A and B are shown apart, each in its own frame.
Chain A
Amino acid sequence: MNYIWYFLIIISIIFAAFNATLDEVTKAIFSGCELSIKIGLTLTAIMTFWLGIMKIAEKSGIVEFVSKLLTPVTGKIFPEVPRNNPVIGDIAMNFSANALGLANAATPMGIKAMQGLQKINKDKNSASNSMCTLLAMNTAGFQLIPATVLAILAANGCKNPTEIIVPTLIVTSVAFVSAIVMARLFQTVFPPQKVEMEDKNV
C-alpha cells in the first residue's frame, strides 16, 4: 500500500506539472479532505445505526440463524475460521446485505466481520487468508438488484431499465466467483509474511 499511495500522489503531481493542472491538483487536496469529512461522518453515522440494529439481531438469534443457513457455503469459502465462531454470522449478514444491494448496511457488517477475523488473526499487521477472501467477496460487489443503476437509468428516461438486471447478474456472479477462486490461488503465491516487515515510512 505504501508504494501504491506514493505512486498515486507522485503521478498526479508530475502529470499535473506537464498538463498545467497543478492548481487544480492543489485544490483537490482540500476538496478531497472535505469529501472525506462528508463520507467519513456519513459512514460513521450509518455504521452506528447498523451496528445497533445488528446487535439486536445478534441478541435475538437472527444472526445465528442466517449463519447456520449459510454454513455449508461459508465453511467452504472460509476453511480457516472455526465453525462455531460468531464471525461466520457477520460474514453471512454482510453477504446477504450485499446481495440485496444494501451497500449502507453491508459495509458496517463487513467491518464487523473483519474485526472478528482480526481477533483470530495471528499477525495483527498483516491480512489473513480469510480477510483477503472476505475482501474479495466485497470488492466483487455481488448483488441481485443494482438499485442505484436502475434509478439513474429510470431518471434519464430509459424505457425498461430492468432489462439490465439479468446481464448484470451474470457478470457480477462470474466476477464474484472468480474473485474467490483468485483469492484462493493467490494465497499460495503470497504466503503470510513475517512480522519484521513492519510499516516502513509512508
Chain B
Amino acid sequence: MFKEIVNIISLWALPFIILTILTVAVIKKVPVYETFIDGAKNGVKTGISIFPYLVAIIVAISMLRASGIIDCCADICSGLLDRIHIPADIIPLTIVRSLSGSAAIGVFSDIVANNDINSYTSKLAAIMMGSSETTFYVLTVYFGAVGIKKYRYALLTGICADIVGIVMSVVVARVFFC
C-alpha cells in the first residue's frame, strides 16, 4: 500500500509539476513557447561558465580514485570501525559519497550486489546513500556558476553535515534493522 503510494508519487512528481506550470501559464495567457526559449537561453550561458570548474574537480577526483588511496584508507579504517558495527564494505561509500555522485552509485550497487540485499549492510548503505548529496560537486557547480572564488566556511559546513549524516545513518540503521 505505502509502497504503491511512493511509487505513484515518484512517477508523477515531474510530469505533474510540468503540467501544472504549463496549464497555469496558458490560463494566464503567458506565451509559453517564447517564454521557455527566453528562459532557456540562460541555461547555455550558465552551462559554459560552469564547465572549467567541472573539469577541475572531476579530473582531480578521478585521479584520486585511480591512485587507490581511497581503498587504502578504507583498509586502514576497517578494523577500527568494525568494532562500532560499521561494516567494512560501507567505508568506501562514506568516502566517495561526498566526492562523486556516479562513483557513489557504483559503490552502492557494488555493496548491494555483494551482500544480502536484505542485510543490515545493504540497508545501512541505502540510508547513507539516500540521505546525502555530492558535496564537492554541488559546491563546485553552484559557486562556479557565479564565479565565487572564496568559499569561506561552505566546504566545512558541507563536510560536517556529511559526517552528521554518516553517524546518524549508523545510529538509525541500528535502531531499525538490527
Contact = CB atoms under 8 A, between A and B. Distances in A.
B98 to A, nearest CB: 8
A159 B154 CA distance: 39
Interface in A101-154: 101-102, 105, 107-108, 110-112, 114-115, 117-118, 123-127, 131-132, 134-136, 138-141, 143, 145-150, 152-153
A161 B69 CA distance: 32
Nearest to A153: B126
A146 B130 contact: yes
Interface of A: 1, 4-5, 8-9, 11-13, 15-16, 19, 21, 24-25, 27-29, 31-33, 35-36, 39-41, 43-45, 47-62, 100-102, 105, 107-108, 110-112, 114-115, 117-118, 123-127, 131-132, 134-136, 138-141, 143, 145-150, 152-153, 156-168, 170-172, 174-176, 178-179, 182-183, 186-187, 189-190, 192-193, 197-199
Contacts of B152: 126-127, 132, 186, 190, 192-193
A132 B30 contact: no
Nearest to A132: B154
Interface string B82-103: 0000000000000000100010
A126 B43 contact: no
Contacts of A172: 130-132, 165
A136 B127 CA distance: 19
Nearest to A187: B153
A33 to B, nearest CB: 6
A135 B131 CA distance: 16
Nearest to A6: B60
A160 B149 CA distance: 45
B146 to A, nearest CB: 4
Contact of B68 (A9, A19, A132, A157): A19
Contacts of B129: 146, 148-149
Which applies to chain B's interface (DSSP): helix, strand, loop or mixed? helix
Interface in B26-76: 27-28, 30, 32, 35-44, 46-48, 50-51, 54-69, 72
Given A35-B58, A114-B142, A60 B130 contact: no
A176 B28 CA distance: 36
B160 to A, nearest CB: 5
A21 to B, nearest CB: 5
A5 B150 contact: no
Contacts of A175: 131-132, 161-162, 164-165, 168
Interface string B118-132: 100011001111111
B133 A140 contact: yes
B157 A57 contact: no
B164 A178 contact: yes
Contacts of B122: 153, 158
